Amino acid sequence: MHPDRTPVMAGNWKLHKGIHDTGGYVRELVQALKERGDLGCEVIIAPVFTSLAVALQAVWGSPIKVAAQNCHWEETGAFTGEISAAMLKEVGVSHVILGHSERRQYFGETDATVNGRLKATLAQRMAPIFCIGETIDQRRAGETERVLERQLNDGLAGLGAEALSTLIVAYEPVWAIGTGEVATPEQAQAAHAYIRGWFSKAHGDGFANRVRLLYGGSAKPDNVKEILACPDVDGCLIGGASLTAESFLPMIDAAASR
Ligand code: PGA
């Protein structure tokens, strides 16, 4: 981590925790963070859509921010099963996870659709948590940087530095997500340095030095310190280990005590 960039620890709950579990868990987090005082670290949770309102109510007055896990590019229309950025904004959401590899793998998400969702999110003045990362086959074939470049070029197409000022990027190697196999600090740092370099070329050094790049993929309390020690890693997007206070809190502490 770099002292000039405030770290971000974000919990991606995926398809877990209905309203009952959400209320209790978020109240536990709020209380624990209150006892810690100023963290010097941003904390975000991303519950399922139906739990957003309960989460937002429970975080009221605390520093925890609430993200949605996706949004559609149109504001309204005949799009059964979708939710719009305007609707998320209305409920009080501040961040939206976009382009997660599970959306890309299982739900037909493409760089072009991610780009549309990103633009809709930004138009509502919410901050995107834009996920990119290579599969194991792409890594073995030596295509990691090419894949990241394509995802960045196409996912962020048509968006300038000013529009992207709130952008957070999550580098999530697909082979590390939910598998227990974590990228080595060297692999994480190399990918993050590549991504920061892309921003430097696309939007200048000032932007590249400010943009927060999170690592995601089997981040856990026992490996988070070495991941966070990488100079270009500014926090984590955490799936499984964000679901209990027992594992999420020590990870937040690791980022806060940098
Ligand atoms: P994981 O998920 O921490 O359970 O590997 C990370 C993610 O998908 O964001």
Q: Confirm whether 42 is a catalytic residue.
A: no
Ligand 1 close to Cβ of residue 240 (< 6 A): yes
Amino acid at 210: R
Tell me which residue has tokens 């594992």: 247
Q: Is 242 in the pocket of ligand 1 (CB under 6 A)?
A: no
| CA of 100 relative to ligand 1 center, distance in Å | 10
CA 124/CA 149 separation, integer angstroms: 26
DSSP assignments along 60-107, one per residue: TTSS-EEEES--BSSSSSS-TT--BHHHHHHHT--EEEES-HHHHHHS
**Which of 151, 154, 157 minimizes the C-alpha distance to 171?**
151
Separation between Cα atoms, residue 65 and residue 46, nearest integer Å: 9
Residue 180 Cα to ligand 1 middle (Å) = 9
100 is catalytic: yes
For domain 8-30+40-256, give its CATH number from 3.40.50.720, 3.30.910.20, 3.20.20.70, 1.10.287.1260: 3.20.20.70
Listed by start position, the domains of the chain span 8-30+40-256
Distance CA 183, CA 140 (A): 14
Residue 258 confidence (pLDDT): 53
pLDDT of residue 140: 93
Contact between 192 and 215 under an 8 Å Cβ cutoff? The reply is yes
Per-residue pLDDT of the chain (258 residues; tens, 9 = 90+): 888 899 999 999 999 999 999 999 999 999 999 999 888 899 999 999 999 999 999 999 999 999 999 999 999 999 999 999 999 999 999 999 999 999 999 999 999 999 999 999 999 999 999 999 999 999 999 999 999 999 999 999 999 999 999 999 999 999 998 888 888 999 999 999 999 999 999 999 999 999 999 999 999 999 999 999 999 999 999 999 999 999 999 999 999 975
**DSSP E strands: which ranges in 107-194?**
127-132, 168-171
Distances (CA, A) of 196 to 18, 55, 254: 36, 32, 23
- The 10 Å Cβ neighbour count of residue 98 is 26
Give backbone dihedrals phi and psi of 65, rounded to 5 degrees, phi first.
Answer: -105, 155
Reading the block at residue 29, the tokens are 């987090």
Cβ–ligand 1 contact at 172 (below 6 Å): yes
pLDDT of amino acid 39 = 87
Cβ-contact 218, 176 below 8 angstroms: yes
Q: How far is the CA of 168 from the centre of ligand 1 (A)?
A: 16
